[in-house]
Amino acid sequence: MSSAEPPATGKQARVAALQWGLVQTFVLDTLARFLRNYYRATTTAFFPPDWVSSLQFATPLGLVVGAVGGYRWVTSGPGATTAAAHRDRVVFVGALLVGWALAIVPTLAAQWLLGEAFFTVPYFVIPTLSAISAALGAVAVTYRVDPAALRRRRARLLGAVQGAFVGLALGLVGFILYSNYLIATRDNFSVDGSPGIVLGVVVGALVGYALADRLRSGDRAAEFLVLFVCSLTVLSLGLSLGQTTLAAVGVPVGFGWSGASLGLSTVASLLLSGYLAYGAETAVYRRFVDG
């Protein structure tokens, strides 16, 4: 297929559905988190009002509503179906997902430096500002950066992103393991995983950028990221349902079990996505993006 030839309309509609659904979810989640942090910073109540919690629980519905709107926008005619428009949607979806996920890094760094002051006025807005910065960055990468320049640096950038995600996952797993060790061996303790997670992301991004050629970054890195996000989502939801089922039948489920399940799903997702992307060399990303 020529690079100037647009993919099939159905495939473009699926990408547009993902784009609109992500945007709707991002807006609802960011607003809900801002309101939750606002109430925590300005009132004595630790938990926000029920309507704020309901807003955050409504984010999956926002994903569905946005996806339906994006799909109809392309299939019913108003949406552009050129190859360039499709490329922009793909870049935006990838940039928003990456930026949104890695927005936790400046948030954790600020929390590490500020301590308890992080949850007070005016610092409670830092997570919101990080998320908004990620969204603005996605818009800039998609609509302000020269596509040719982006293609020239694609392998290095994807290598850095892949390394950052691996570093984030390993930092999270390390924090969970260390926390569970402290729970099992000590009565009183205080632990902050922010430094380790931030360091893991930074080191991972640098290693991924430096080894981009050796790691066959590009489509392989994009494939790994797609598989990792999908597998982690599915495994986390499955384990969460298992936790809910255990709690419903009276089996006590505390932080230790919850943390272990999150760590297990993260490690399993890393191994599965690594094998499928570099061992089996699947083409999920390519089949989804191209026509």
Confidence at residue 256, expressed as pLDDT on a 0 to 100 scale: 54
Confidence at residue 1, expressed as pLDDT on a 0 to 100 scale: 43
Express each pLDDT in 139-170 by its tens digit. 999 999 998 998 889 999 999 999 999 999 99
Express each pLDDT in 253-282 by its tens digit. 554 556 677 888 899 999 999 999 999 999
pLDDT band of 123, cuts 50, 70, 90: very high
* Position 2 pLDDT exceeds 50: no
A 10 A CB-CB count for 291 gives 14
What's the token pair of residue 23?
A: 């945007």
Q: Which of 111, 99, 172 is nearest to 135 (CA)?
A: 99
Mean pLDDT of 181-203: 86
H-state helical runs in the chain? 9-42, 50-57, 59-75, 83-102, 104-114, 126-143, 147-152, 154-185, 194-210, 219-248, 255-274, 284-289
d(CA 276, CA 222): 12
pTM for the model: 0.88
Euclidean distance between the first and the last CA atom of the chain, given in angstroms as a whole number? 8
pLDDT band of 247, cuts 50, 70, 90: low
Picking from 14-23, 129-138, 180-189, which range would have the lowest pLDDT averaged per residue? 180-189
Q: Which of 199, 137, 134 is nearest to 164 (CA)?
A: 199
Express each pLDDT in 33-52 by its tens digit. 999 999 999 988 777 888 88
* Position 77 pLDDT exceeds 80: no
Residues 162 and 219 sit within 8 Å (Cβ to Cβ): no
Confidence at residue 138, expressed as pLDDT on a 0 to 100 scale: 96
Express each pLDDT in 86-115 by its tens digit. 999 999 999 999 999 999 999 999 999 998
